[in-house]
Amino acid sequence: MTDLETRGARPGAATLRRAAPALLGYAAVRALGLLTLALWSAARDKSAYTLLTARWDSLWYTRVAELGYGYEVRLPNGDVHSNLAFFPLLPWLERLLAATTPLSYAGAGLVVALLTSLAAAWGIFAVADHVYGGTDNGAEPGLGGVTAEGGRAGVCAVLLWAVLPVGIVQSMAYSESLFTALAAWSLYAVLTGRWVTAGALASLAGLTRPVGLAVVAAVWVAAIASFARDRRAAPAAPDSRRTTARALGMLLAPLGAAAYVLWVGHRTGKGPLGYLDVQAGWRNGFDGGYAFARFVADKFTSFPSAMAGVGLIVGVGLIVWLYVVCVRQGQPLPLLVYAGVVTALALCASSYFGSKPRLLLPAFPLLLPLARALDRARPRRSALVLGGVAVASAAYGAFWLNGSGPP
């Protein structure tokens, strides 16, 4: 059997040309969002650049890049906000760019976000096109596309990701774009049987955000399922090269997250669970959604806030419905595992509730059923829907960042 690590078409010039309409559309949506933000901010005597690079989490990342770890803030209530909560890959990239270019650390963070958002868009296109585009691309048996209908599904998936209400975060000096790029390409590598590449990218995703666990889980579950299929197909003569590649991918996948978590435990002197203590200082944890449920229930204490509560319930219901549709449409197993873990961690964490839409941003497989529906619609209708939503998203992003913004 041909080794799937080398058989499929690689993401080079040909696939870039195929993805060009999606990337151009993505760039146009993001340019609209940034232009709207610039005009809105100027009208309020604020700096759009500052909003994108020097507020909220972006400040913590640039402090890590400039000064390293060890900075913390003690709040009056006794909570300790330590920069050890922030994973190191984005600060490393900011430090590298700042050292090799005239960019400041904040400017470097913005450049990383802009470039990796394009990489994420390309990765989302590659995954959607593989699943719905009817292309083989050296697909791993059992993990290939679910339909051969072809068309514009990949483009629609990218544009849907771009026009999300919190899509402006993709252009901020945050780690969401970097993480989504690594996750999308790791998933694509799994789908096309490039296990070592998938493991390496999963390891880097684990150095970017705690939710890197979702990418590791996708790689491991897909690899185990692939092992089982091979055992059933040829129990007496397994393909040693495929077996070795899968095992190496599984070994690589958790290394990034494990290395950082263990390092934090050593630095804090609290052992392997030290990172959990750091997160507890930020009031972050996993409670199965209890705190979020209480937050929603509290909204029903008065009429104005009850409307917000209804909106939250509808939003969560929509997310659950989209995941159920993903399952019913037979999405490949690694996409279901990845989207499921990202969604569970976002909705069931006890962190600041306003951050949940941002935490769901990397869960792009949830958008694939909508992309498939737009692909089947008339082109003019799809364009009108996406154009209208893009305008609304740009206005909301500008309003959001000039107000409370992302936590």
Alpha-carbon distance 107 to 113, whole Å?
A: 10
Task: Indicate the domain borders of the chain.
Answer: 4-401
Of the two residues 382 and 11, the one the predictor is more confident about is 382
pLDDT score for 2 = 34
pLDDT score for 138 = 56
pLDDT digit string, tens, across residues 292-347 = 888 888 888 877 788 888 988 999 999 999 999 999 999 999 999 999 999 999 99
Burial 127-156 (b: 16+ CB within 10 A, else e): bbbbbbbbbebbbbeebbbeeeeebbbbbb
Backbone angles phi, psi at 73, to 5 degrees: -125, 125
pLDDT score for 299 = 82
pLDDT digit string, tens, across residues 17-45 = 889 999 999 999 999 999 999 999 999 99
Alpha-carbon distance 179 to 93, whole Å?
A: 13
Residues above pLDDT 90, as percent of the chain: 71
Alpha-carbon distance 338 to 59, whole Å?
A: 29
> ∠390-348-270 over CA atoms, to 5°?
120
pLDDT score for 11 = 54
Tokens (6 digits) for 172: 């901020």
Alpha-carbon distance 335 to 44, whole Å?
A: 42
Q: Is the pLDDT of residue 147 over 50?
A: no
Whether this model's pTM surpasses 0.85: yes
pLDDT score for 287 = 81
Q: Which residues pair with 346 in a beta bridge?
A: none
- DSSP letters along 387-407, please? HHHHHHHHHHHHHHHTTT---
Contact (Cβ atoms closer than 8 angstroms) between residue 79 and residue 282: yes
Which of 197, 178, 175 lies closest to 186, judged by CA? 197
pLDDT score for 296 = 86
pLDDT score for 238 = 65
Q: Is the pLDDT of residue 169 over 80?
A: yes
Alpha-carbon distance 84 to 64, whole Å?
A: 9
Sign of CA dihedral 59, 61, 62, 66: positive
Q: Is the pLDDT of residue 272 over 90?
A: no
**Average pLDDT of every residue of the chain:** 90
pLDDT score for 389 = 97
Q: Is the pLDDT of residue 1 over 80?
A: no
Alpha-carbon distance 187 to 297, whole Å?
A: 36
Q: Is the pLDDT of residue 8 over 50?
A: no
Q: Is the pLDDT of residue 6 over 50?
A: no
pLDDT digit string, tens, across residues 209-242 = 999 999 999 999 999 999 888 788 766 666 678 8
Q: Is the pLDDT of residue 4 over 50?
A: no
